[in-house]
C-alpha cells in the first residue's frame, strides 16, 4: 500500500476518492479508467458525484477479495491521475 498513496483497505477492497476541479475533469478520468480497466480485463466499481470519483477495487472472480489485478489497476490509475 505504500506505493499507492491515498488508497485504503476496507471491507476486502481497495478504495480511493479522487477530487477534480470540475465535472468535466472527473468524467474524463472515468473514461480513461475505462480504457485502463478494459486493457487489464478488470472492471472496477465507480461512483461519481460532480467533481469526485470514488474507485473500489476487488476481484469478483476471487470471492470479492483483493488480488494482484486490483493492485495493478490501482497502480495504473495513480499514473494517469492528474490531480
pLDDT tens-digit readout, 44-78: 999 999 999 999 999 988 988 999 999 999 999 99
Q: What is the pTM (predicted TM-score) of this model?
A: 0.92
Cα 83 from chain centroid (whole Å): 14
Give residue 6's region: left, alpha or beta (phi > 0; psi -120 to 50): left
- Banded model confidence at residue 3, pLDDT cuts 50, 70, 90: confident
Among 7-16, 44-53, 74-83, which is the least confidently predicted range? Answer: 74-83
Task: Describe the strand order of the beta sheet including 52-57 as a list of residue ranges.
Answer: 8-10, 13-19, 52-57, 45-49
Q: For residues 79 and 47, which has the higher predicted lDDT (pLDDT)?
A: 47
Domains, the chain, in order of start with CATH, read: 8-80 (3.30.1360.20)
- Banded model confidence at residue 33, pLDDT cuts 50, 70, 90: very high
Amino acid at each position: 500500500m505504500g506505493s499507492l498513496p491515498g488508497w485504503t483497505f476496507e471491507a476486502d477492497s481497495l478504495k480511493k476518492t479522487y477530487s477534480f476541479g470540475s465535472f468535466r475533469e472527473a468524467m474524463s478520468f472515468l473514461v480513461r479508467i475505462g480504457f485502463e480497466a478494459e486493457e487489464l480485463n478488470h472492471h472496477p466499481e465507480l461512483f461519481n458525484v460532480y467533481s469526485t470519483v470514488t474507485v473500489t477495487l476487488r476481484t469478483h472472480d476471487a470471492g470479492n477479495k483483493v488480488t494482484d489485478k486490483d493492485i495493478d489497476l490501482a497502480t495504473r490509475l495513480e499514473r494517469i491521475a492528474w490531480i
